Structure 1
C-alpha cells in the first residue's frame, strides 16, 4: 500500500496527510452510504496508509457521520491525537429553531457543542464555516471562531464555499485584531469544475491557505463509470454529463490507459499538481474505493499530459484575469500593459 506523506496546513505547523478522507458517506440515514462496520474498515485502511486528516460535518447524514467517527475513537481505542479531525457548521440541522443555521455566533456555539458530543472528543482540530450565509458580518464570525480557539475547543479554523472577497476580508480583519486566521479553503474543484481558478485559488495562494478540493472526481464522473452505463446517484441532466464533460472524461480515460492506471488516479493527480498546497478530499463508502484513491499518489503526470488536460478543460477566466494575460502582466511586461492602456484611452 502506498504510504502517505505529510504537509503543513496553510501557514500553520499542523502536519496533515496528502489526502483527506471525506466521510459524508459514513452512515445510512439518507438511504445510502457505509454502515458502521464498513466505515470502521475505511478508517482503519486510511490510518494504515498514513492518513490522519479526516473531514466531516455536523449535517452529514443528519449527524450520523460524526457519531460513527466518535464511536470509532471510543470502540477501536485508537489514538485520538493521531488524527486531525475537521468538521463544519452552518447548514440547518433543526427545523424548530430559527438560529439552527447560518454563520452567526449563536449557531456556531450550539453546533460545536453538538459536534463535540457526537464525536466523543474534547476538541476539534479544524473547524470550517461550511457555507457563506450572506447575512452575518464576517467580523462576528472571526471573533466567535477565535473565542473557540481560546477556549481550547478548536485548534484551527478554515472556510468553505464562500466568495473570495469574504475570505480575504476575514483573514485581513483577523490579522489586524490579532485573532486566529483561516488556515485552509475548501471548494469544489476538478477537471469539470475549474471556476475557482478565477478568484478563489489566486486568493488562497496569496494568503498561503491550503486548498482542499471537494468532488475532485466530479461525483465519480471522471472515473468514466457513467460512460460505461453505471447509473450511480448522478442525475442525467447534470453538467457533469454534458458533451463538454464527456469529452474531458474521455481525455482522462485515454491518459489513464497510457499509464495503465485507473482514471481516478489521473483526475486526482491533475488536481494535486495544480497547487503545491492542494489536499484533495476523497470520499469512500468501500475500502476498495479508498485504496484506489490512495494509489493515485504514485502517479506524477508528465507536462505533456497536464497540457492536454488543461487544454481540454480550459475555462473563460473572465475579467480582469484574461485582460492581464493579454496585456502581459503575468510575465511582468508592465511596459506592454501601460502601452495598451494608452492605446485604449
Structure 2
C-alpha cells in the first residue's frame, strides 16, 4: 500500500458544509450517529392541505378534549400553518416537489436524521420519504425514525373500523411496522417510537413485542413519545432486568415557555442514558418579533400554529427576550436562540424542526453555532414563572448535574462535586 493511499485512508474527513454535518452519538444506549437537528416530516405530503382545526380554546366539553388533544399531538411538528379565518387554521402540507426540495436541502447541509409517523399526511409522509430515498439512493445514509400507535388508516377504512390499527398493543405494532416498511421502501427502521401512551396496554407486552422486532432486525433502536416519565422508567427497568431492548430516546413537548421536561423527563433521561428529541421547541411558531409579525400580515399569513390566533401577552414577552439575546449575538433569528436554549440545557438533545421552507431550515441551523451564556439562559428563563414542584423544590437539584451541593446536604458538611456534564456545542 502506497504512502499516498495510507495518507488518504487516515486523513480526517473534510469540514462539513454546515454545522448540521457535525454528527453526534444519539445516546449512551444508541451508538448511531445523527445530525444535531432532526427534520420533522409531519408536513411532507399534501393530504392534509385545507384540513381545518378549531383551536383548543374553543373546546370546553370534556368528552371532546381527548379527541382533539390526540389530534393536536399527532400534528405537533408543524411550522407553517396558513391562516384560513379568525378561528380556523389549515394543517401544514407540501406537494411532492416542495417536499423533495426540503429533504434535499436538509441532506445536502449534512442532515441525516428524519422523523415521521405512520399517519402523517394520511400516510403520504412515509410514502414520499420512501420515494425520495429510493430516487436519491441514500437509504443507508439516513437515520430514519417513525412511530406507531395512531389509527393511521381511518381516513381510508372509516372511523370505527380501525380499532386494532391504533394503540400500544402488539397487534397494532405488528401491522404498523409491516406497513411502514412497505411505505418507506426499506427493510429496517432506525428508530421506532411508541407515539403516545394509550393507558390500556401492559408494559410487559409493549417491551416484549418491541424487542422481538429488534431481534428480527426490522427495528434497530427504540424511542417513546408523549408518555409519563414513570411509565418509561418502569419499561426500561423491566427491559434491563429481562435482557430486552430499552428505550434510547424520548420525544415530547419542550421549549423556553413550557419547561415541564425539567421535573421528571430530563432526570429520567439522564438516569437511563436516553437522548431527548423535543418537539414544539419554537413555541408552535409563536416566537416572533413584532417586525416578523408585521411582515407576515403583509403577505396574508397568520402565525404558524393551529391553536389560536396571534400572540398571548406571555408569548410577546418571551419573544422580546429572545430578540434581545439574538441581538447580543448579532443575529435576527429568534428561533435560533430558542433552539440553542434546549440544546445547551442538558446533553444528548436533538430538537425536531419542521417547516416547509428551505430558508427556515437555514435559519434553524444557526442555532448550532450559538453558545448562550449562563446569564442569557437565566434571563430567558426569568421571563416565565416555573416551579419544579415537590419534591424537587424541597430536596433541590441533583448536585451531579449542577456541580453544587444542596441545602439539605449542607446541613451535615460541605461537599464538593465535579463540574457537571456539558451539552454539545462545537468550539471552533
- Does TM, normalized by the shorter one, top 0.5? yes
Alignment partners' CA distance in 1, 2:398 and 2:167: 41
Which residue matches 1:38?
98
Matched, 1:10 2:84: no
Q: CA deviation at 1:113?
A: 0.8
* Change beyond 3 A, Cα 1:130–1:224: farther
Matched, 1:217 2:282: yes
Q: CA deviation at 1:299?
A: 1.3
CA contact 1:222–1:264 (8 Å) conserved in 2:
yes
- The structure 1 residue matched to 2:242, chosen from 173, 177, 196, is 177
Deviations 1:257-280 (A, max 9, x none): 232321111111111111121111
Q: CA deviation at 1:327?
A: 12
Q: CA deviation at 1:283?
A: 0.6
Which residue matches 1:202?
267
- Within 5 A, what are the aligned runs for 1:157-176? 157-176=222-241
Alignment partners' CA distance in 1, 2:307 and 2:134: 41
Which residue matches 1:310?
381
CA contact 1:105–1:141 (8 Å) conserved in 2:
yes
CA contact 1:266–1:299 (8 Å) conserved in 2:
yes
Deviations 1:305-342 (A, max 9, x none): 11111221341111111112399997244455689xxx
Alignment partners' CA distance in 1, 2:311 and 2:368: 26
Q: CA deviation at 1:244?
A: 2.0
Alignment partners' CA distance in 2, 1:280 and 1:334: 34
Deviations 1:176-210 (A, max 9, x none): 00001111000111112111111111111111100
Q: CA deviation at 1:122?
A: 0.8
Query: Which portions of structure 1, spanning 4 or more consecutive aligned residues, are displaced by more than 4 angstroms?
Result: 235-238, 326-330, 335-339
Alignment partners' CA distance in 1, 2:399 and 2:353: 37
Matched, 1:279 2:353: no
Which residue matches 1:88?
147
* Change beyond 3 A, Cα 1:235–1:337: farther
Which residue matches 1:72?
132
Which 5+ residue runs of structure 2 have no aligned equivalent? 1-16, 50-91, 414-428
Deviates further, 79-88 or 94-103: 94-103
Deviates further, 160-169 or 247-256: 247-256
* Change beyond 3 A, Cα 1:143–1:282: same
* Change beyond 3 A, Cα 1:15–1:235: closer
CA contact 2:396–2:407 (8 Å) conserved in 1:
no
Matched, 1:20 2:38: yes
Which 5+ residue runs of structure 1 have no aligned equivalent? 340-345
* Change beyond 3 A, Cα 1:207–1:122: same
Q: CA deviation at 1:99?
A: 1.0
SS class of match (1:245): helix
Alignment partners' CA distance in 2, 1:164 and 1:30: 32
Alignment partners' CA distance in 1, 2:191 and 2:398: 40
SS class of match (2:319): helix
Alignment partners' CA distance in 1, 2:46 and 2:258: 28
Structure (1 or 2) with the larger CA radius of gyration: 2
- Within 5 A, what are the aligned runs for 1:1-345? 2-4=18-20, 5-11=22-28, 12-31=30-49, 32-76=92-136, 78-93=137-152, 94=154, 95=159, 96-224=161-289, 227-228=293-294, 229=297, 230-235=301-306, 237=308, 241-261=311-331, 262-325=333-396, 331-335=405-409
Scaled by the length of structure 1, what TM-score is found? 0.92
SS class of match (1:193): coil
Scaled by the length of structure 2, what TM-score is found? 0.74
Alignment partners' CA distance in 1, 2:412 and 2:313: 40
Which residue matches 1:343?
none
CA contact 1:38–1:287 (8 Å) conserved in 2:
no
